[in-house]
């Protein structure tokens, strides 16, 4: 029963992290679209790429941190530590 509760808590945490990432991505895309249209209508030098790259870097980092690859490693490590503690 304890293992089932632990799995449930980890699953809930993962869903919460994914939800935060998708919200962050949605806000990023909306703001970047607005900035693009402001830059386009301004007619001046193209400055739009600076916030796109800067903020985009953080979105990518967050995406990597919640990706299945990283979480798979984390789950394996948790299981390994729990097994060592049982011995």
- Residues lower than pLDDT 70 in the chain: 1-2, 68-71, 73, 87
Q: Is there a domain that residue 5 lies in?
A: no
Q: Is there a domain that residue 35 lies in?
A: yes
Please give the pLDDT value at position 87.
Answer: 67
Please give the pLDDT value at position 16.
Answer: 87
Q: Is there a domain that residue 6 lies in?
A: no
Q: Is there a domain that residue 81 lies in?
A: yes
Please give the pLDDT value at position 8.
Answer: 78
Tell me how far apart the alpha carbons of residues 12 and 80 are, in angstroms, rounded to a whole number: 21
Q: Structural domain of residue 45, as residue ranges?
A: 15-86
Tell me how far apart the alpha carbons of residues 28 and 22 are, in angstroms, rounded to a whole number: 10
Q: Is there a domain that residue 30 lies in?
A: yes
Q: Is there a domain that residue 45 lies in?
A: yes
Give the count of beta carbons closer than 10 Å to the beta carbon of residue 74: 13
Tell me how far apart the alpha carbons of residues 19 and 82 are, in angstroms, rounded to a whole number: 27
Please give the pLDDT value at position 13.
Answer: 82
Q: Is there a domain that residue 4 lies in?
A: no
Count of structural domains, the chain: 1
Tell me how far apart the alpha carbons of residues 18 and 12 are, in angstroms, rounded to a whole number: 10
The whole-model pTM stands at 0.72
Q: Is there a domain that residue 60 lies in?
A: yes
């Amino acid at each position: 029963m304890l293992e089932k509760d632990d799995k449930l808590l980890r699953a809930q945490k993962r869903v919460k992290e994914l939800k935060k990432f998708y919200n962050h991505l949605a806000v990023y895309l909306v703001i970047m679209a607005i900035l693009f249209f402001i830059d386009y209508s301004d007619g001046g030098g193209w400055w739009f790429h600076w916030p796109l790259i800067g903020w985009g870097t953080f979105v990518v980092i967050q995406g990597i941190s919640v990706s299945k690859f990283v979480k798979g490693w984390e789950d394996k490590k948790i299981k390994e530590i729990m097994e060592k503690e049982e011995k």
